[in-house]
Structure 1
Amino acid sequence: MKSYRWHQLTWEEIGALPAQGMDAVMLPVGATEQHGPHLGCGVDAEIASKLCQEAADRSAVPVLPTLPYGCSIGHSQQWPGTLALQPKTLIDVVKQIGDWAYISGFRRLFLVNSHVTNLAPLRCALEMLRAEHDDLKVALVNTGTLSERVRARHFEDADDWHANEAETSLMLALAPDMTRPERFVDADDPDRTDGCVFAHPVNRTSTNGVTGTPSLATRDRGRELFAWMVEDLVALLQRGLSEKPPLEQSYFV
């Protein structure tokens, strides 16, 4: 099978892609952070990586190496395992990756994000990239809200979900070695954020780093959810490959 993974391609193969009509590329962005007592710390990076790799194989849109660190400072210093970037650091890193993808000839960049609080820094990077590169289109895609059906599954057991049924089911399907099934029942922790005015750090809303009911997780539910995510991401990529701005105007005066 032909590879669409950037790190496996030679510079000649990468350079040939835009000339052959493929001017789009995906950047999976995850995080390395505590995911309760029942999941490994690389859940977000694993989801982003596996999702983009599968979508790449189906769409022929190449995928950049996964960024495994994100803006996880909201998880506090309560639990070991979190390796967090400051928001301004994530902005700079993604901006510079986008710059270099542009230099390689790519004009459509899909930021595929699997960690909720990466959203604001990634949006800032998007703003900077499109303001600097007039013909670069940047899309910010959040894996947990790819479509209504995907969103509904992620929010099924909590609004402020984390390491919940959806993520635990995905790990059972995608990376069972990152799960500790004997801890699933003990890991359940309710959402305490209803009615809150402020955005509190995780250690002030959860006793163990979890929000949701991982005890409900099954491999079959994970496989179903992942299949939806792949299908819906591929559909979005295909729409993006042919999209043009509503008005063909230069950003610059």
Structure 2
Amino acid sequence: MSTHWAHLTWAELPEKIRAAGHAAILPIGATEQHGPHMGCGMDYVLADLLCTHVSHETGVPMLPTMPYGCSLGHSHRWPGTIAVQPITLINLIKDMGDWAYQSGIRRLFIVNTHVTNAAPLRCALEMLRAEHDDMMVAVFNSAVISQRVREFHFADGDDWHANDAETSLMLAKAPHMVRPEKLAEADDPDRTDGLVFAHPVNRTSTNGVTGQPSIATAEKGEQWFRWMVEDLAALINKGLTEEPPLPHSYFHSCTSGDIA
């Protein structure tokens, strides 16, 4: 039976949720320009593929993938970006978490494939755990789930985008997203080193790219995707057995008798 939440009936979900330790995976992507060589849905496609594989490996149900994110920094310079405000993303994830809780979810693994979703997702995490005392929430940013994954993402720039890593991943797992004839001229360097301010992409890139997509290969992408699946699955499996270090309630005030 599928582990995709959307493919299961309401009668099937409770057993799936119990079998997975009352856990679920929530993939969050984005729809935004990815240079002249790659489709605008790259982040969404990666989130969906990665979490589908990890859901299969771990048995943890996967909620439908969110295709929109906080992509305001990509500006209006290039067509294709469909962004939501940070507060909108916060509220969406909070609402989704509330409803997942009502279905029995007590461990929510949010998997983010777009860098600037991170702050709103952290805010949603704070809100969910403050409301639901017995719910644990984790946010995993896909490019930094492990040291080896971080190294290949950041190899061609600290402010990377549509680079070797992302292009290689798509060549391996979703080649229809890449325009190979555009790769040779798509490279653009990281111009953010030493800057004080965080500038939008229209002021840091000539074509929406930061990095070297010209050196991307499907072979590298296959290996890198395998690492991402292995390392994310390991994190989720670890989280399935984790308990809070202390049992204290969020809502009950501390008294002198509580202090050891």
TM tier relative to shorter chain: over 0.9
For residue 21 of structure 1, report the CA deviation from its aligned partner: 5.2
For residue 17 of structure 1, report the CA deviation from its aligned partner: 2.6
Instruction: For residue 12 of structure 2, give the secondary structure of its aligned residue in structure 1.
Output: helix
For residue 174 of structure 1, report the CA deviation from its aligned partner: 1.1
Larger-Rg structure: 2
Query: Where does residue 54 of structure 1 map in the other structure?
Result: 53
Query: Where does residue 257 of structure 2 map in the other structure?
Result: none
Distance 1:197 1:51, change over 3 A: same
8 A contact 2:20–2:61 mirrored in 1: no
* Matching of residue 76 in structure 1 with residue 75 in structure 2: yes
- Map 1:1-253 to 2 at 5 A: 2-20=1-19, 22-253=21-252
Cα RMSD, aligned residues only = 0.7
Q: Deviation per CA, 1:164-198, whole angstroms, max 9, x where unpaired?
A: 00000000011100100111111100000000000
- In structure 2, distance between residues paired with 1:208 and 1:17: 45
Q: Deviation per CA, 1:193-217, whole angstroms, max 9, x where unpaired?
A: 0000000000000000000000010
Distance 1:249 1:209, change over 3 A: same
Instruction: For residue 250 of structure 1, give the secondary structure of its aligned residue in structure 2.
Output: coil
| Unaligned runs of at least 5 residues, structure 2 | 253-260
Query: Where does residue 258 of structure 2 map in the other structure?
Result: none
Range 18-27 or range 71-80, more displaced: 18-27
- In structure 1, distance between residues paired with 2:123 and 2:21: 26
8 A contact 2:20–2:59 mirrored in 1: no
Q: Which amino acid aligns with 1:76?
A: S
TM-score (norm 1): 0.98
| Unaligned runs of at least 5 residues, structure 1 | none
- In structure 2, distance between residues paired with 1:79 and 1:195: 26
For residue 230 of structure 1, report the CA deviation from its aligned partner: 0.1
Work out the percentage of aligned pairs sharing the same amino acid. Answer: 63
Distance 1:18 1:6, change over 3 A: closer
Q: Deviation per CA, 1:129-152, whole angstroms, max 9, x where unpaired?
A: 000000000000011001000000
Q: Deviation per CA, 1:19-61, whole angstroms, max 9, x where unpaired?
A: 4453000000000000000000000011111000000111001
8 A contact 2:17–2:61 mirrored in 1: no
Instruction: For residue 12 of structure 1, give the secondary structure of its aligned residue in structure 2.
Output: coil
Aligned residues: 252
Q: Which amino acid aligns with 1:159?
A: D
For residue 95 of structure 1, report the CA deviation from its aligned partner: 0.5
Moved over 4 A (4+): none
For residue 15 of structure 1, report the CA deviation from its aligned partner: 1.9
- In structure 2, distance between residues paired with 1:16 and 1:164: 41
- In structure 2, distance between residues paired with 1:38 and 1:171: 11
Distance 1:224 1:21, change over 3 A: closer
For residue 248 of structure 1, report the CA deviation from its aligned partner: 0.9
Range 94-103 or range 16-25, more displaced: 16-25
Distance 1:228 1:248, change over 3 A: same
- In structure 1, distance between residues paired with 2:18 and 2:187: 51
